[in-house]
Structure 1
Amino acid sequence: MENLLALAADPAAWAALMTLVVMEVVLGIDNLIFISILTNKLPEHQQSRARKIGIGMAVFMRLGLLSTIAFIVQLTQPLFSLFGRDFSWRDLILIAGGLFLIWKATTEIHDTVANDAHGKEKSAAVGAATLTMTSAIGQILVLDLVFSLDSIITAVGMTEHLPIMVVAVVVAVLLMLLAADPLARFIGNNPTIVMLALGFLLMIGATLLAEGVGVHVPKGYIYAAMAFSALIEGLNMLSRRKGRKE
C-alpha cells in the first residue's frame, strides 16, 4: 500500500503512466480496425456483443501476460540462428502474427472486391455463413496476443512498476470498448473506408513480418502514413457529400 501511495505522489510515475496509456491506445488502433472489419461480417444482432466479448477477453489476456513479465522478457532471448541472424520466440510470434494479418487482409480485400461485383445482399449472406461469433472472437484474441506481447515488452522498457502497466492496460482497453461500436458503424457506413482500413492492416502485417526478421521499421513512419491516408480519404468523403448536396 505504501508503495502505491509513493507512486501516486511521484510525478515521474504519472508521466510514465500517461506515456504508456498513449502508447497502448495507439497500438490498440490497429487491433480496433481489425475487430471492426471482422465483426461487421457477423449478423447485426451479434456484432456489438462479439466486439465487447473479444475486447473484454483481451484485457484478461493482457493482465495475464503482465503477471508473467519475467517470462515475457525471456522471450527476447535468442532461440536459434538462421542465415547469420538470431531468432527469439518474440520474433517467431511477430512473424506468425504478420503472416496471419497479411493473409486475413488479403482475403478480406478479395472478398470486398468480389462482393462489390456480385452485390451487397449476396455478400452479407456469404459473410454470415462463413463467419461465426466463436470464429470472430478467436481471431480477435489471436491478433491481440501478438499486439499485447509487443506492447508489454515495450512497456517493460519504459517503467519497472507493475501497477503503472496494469492501470495503463485497463485504461486503454476501456477506451477501446468505448470506441469499438462507433468505429465499426463508421466503417460500415462508409464502404471506401473498408478498403483503406484493409490497406492499413496489410501494411501493419508487413511491418510485423519485417520486425520479426530483424528489419526495424520506425512506428512513426507507419502511423504518419496512416494519418495522411485517413486525411485524404476524409477530404474525399467531404467532396462526395458536397457533390450529393449540389
Structure 2
Amino acid sequence: MADMFAFLADPAAYVALITLVVMEIVLGIDNLVFISILSNKLPENRRATARRIGIGLALILRLGLLSTVAFIVQLTASIFELFGHGFSWRDLILIAGGLFLVWKATKEIHHSVDPEDHKDTIVSRAATVTMGAVILQILLLDLVFSIDSIITAVGMTNEVGIMVVAVVVAVVLMLVASGPLSRFIEANPTVVMLALGFLLMIGMTLIADGLGFHVPKGYIYAAMAFSALVEGLNILAKRKRRLDAERARTAAADTVSEAPATVPAQPHGAPPTIS
C-alpha cells in the first residue's frame, strides 16, 4: 500500500495526477447526465439515496477494476476479425454500451414527444421504477465508461496510486454535483431533451469507437458545451420574458386599484340612484 502512494514524494507526479483528475471529471460528465435523468424518475424522497448508492457502488466498481488493471489492458487485444477489422473485448463492451445508450435515449425521447403513448420505457414513470433498477442501470453504464477511462489512464501513467486518487476525486465531485444537476434538469424540462440528445451522441460515439472509427473526444465535448451554452441563453431569455410579463401584470393591477371611482351619469331631472 505504501508503494502505491510513493508517487506523492515526486513533484513531477502531481502534473500527471492533475491531468488525470481533469480527464476523469470530463469523462464523468456523460455518466453524471445519465444518473441525473435516471434518478429523476424516482419519487423525490428517494432520488438522493439512489444517487448516493449508485455513485458509491460505482466508486467501488472502479477501484475494483483498477486492482485488475493488468487484465483490463489485455481487453484491447483482438479476439476475432470481421470485415478486415479486429475486435477486442473493449470494442464489444463499447458497442454494447453504445447500443444501450441509443436505445434508452430513443425510448425516452419518444415518451417525451408522445406522452399519451403508455408503452413501457426502460426509464418509465416514477410509479413503476424501482430503486434497484435505477442503481443497476447506473452500474452497468459506469462499467462501460470505467473500462474506457482506465484504458485511457494507463496510456497516461503507470502509477496505480495516481489512478486511484484521480478516480476517488472524480467520483466525489460527481456525488457533489449530482444533486444540483438533477434539480436543474427537473426545473428545466427542455434541458431533459438536450441531455437525451447528448446521450444519443455519446452512444453513437461509443459504437463508432468500438467499430474502429475513432472520434476525437474534444469534438464531442465542444459540441456539448456549445449546445449547453445556447440552451442556457434560451433559459435566461425565457426567464426575462416571464419576469417582464409579471411586472406588466403587476403594473396593470396597480393602475386599476389606483384609478378613482366613477359615479354613473344620471338622466336630467331623474332622482339620484341609491345603491
TM-score, structure 1 normalization: 0.94
| 1:72-96 Cα distance to aligned partner (Å, 9 max, x none) | 0100000000011100000000000
> How far has the Cα of 1:10 moved from its partner?
1.7
Residue 54 of structure 1 is matched in structure 2 by 54
Q: 1:203 to 1:44 in 2, by over 3 A?
A: same
Residue 28 of structure 2 is matched in structure 1 by 28
The amino acid across from 1:216 in the alignment is: H
The amino acid across from 1:86 in the alignment is: G
> How far has the Cα of 1:129 moved from its partner?
2.9
> How far has the Cα of 1:12 moved from its partner?
1.9
| 1:100-145 Cα distance to aligned partner (Å, 9 max, x none) | 0000111111111223x68xxxxxxx60233111111000000000
Residues 24, 149 of structure 2: 8 Å contact kept: yes
Determine which structure has more spread, i.e. the larger CA radius of gyration: 2
Residue 173 of structure 2 is matched in structure 1 by 175
Q: 1:88 to 1:4 in 2, by over 3 A?
A: closer
Q: 2:141 aligned with 1:143, yes or no? A: yes
Q: 1:30 to 1:19 in 2, by over 3 A?
A: same
Gaps of 5+ in 2: 118-123, 245-275
Cα distance in 1, alignment partners of residues 11 and 224 from structure 2: 33
Residue 194 of structure 2 is matched in structure 1 by 196
Cα distance in 2, alignment partners of residues 70 and 7 from structure 1: 19
Residues 105, 196 of structure 2: 8 Å contact kept: yes
> How far has the Cα of 1:24 moved from its partner?
0.5
Cα distance in 2, alignment partners of residues 216 and 2 from structure 1: 38
> How far has the Cα of 1:11 moved from its partner?
2.3
> How far has the Cα of 1:175 moved from its partner?
0.3
Residue 122 of structure 1 is matched in structure 2 by none
Gaps of 5+ in 1: 119-125
Q: 2:123 aligned with 1:157, yes or no? A: no
Report the secondary structure of 2:126's partner residue: helix
Residues 198, 224 of structure 2: 8 Å contact kept: yes
Q: 1:206 to 1:4 in 2, by over 3 A?
A: closer
Q: Which runs of 4+ in 1 moved over 6 A?
A: none
| 1:205-231 Cα distance to aligned partner (Å, 9 max, x none) | 000000000000000000000000000
- Aligned pairs for 1:1-246 (under 5 A) are 3=3, 6-115=6-115, 127-246=125-244
| Alignment RMSD (CA, Å) | 1.6
Report the secondary structure of 2:42's partner residue: coil
Report the secondary structure of 2:213's partner residue: coil
Residues 32, 178 of structure 2: 8 Å contact kept: yes
> How far has the Cα of 1:3 moved from its partner?
4.3
Q: 1:2 to 1:63 in 2, by over 3 A?
A: closer
Report the secondary structure of 1:149's partner residue: helix
Structure with the bigger percentage of helix: 1
Report the secondary structure of 1:172's partner residue: helix
Report the secondary structure of 2:53's partner residue: helix
> How far has the Cα of 1:169 moved from its partner?
0.3
Q: 1:46 to 1:198 in 2, by over 3 A?
A: same
Residues 4, 160 of structure 2: 8 Å contact kept: no
Greater relative contact order (Cα 8 A, min sep 6): structure 1 or 2? 1
TM-score, structure 2 normalization: 0.84
Report the secondary structure of 2:125's partner residue: helix
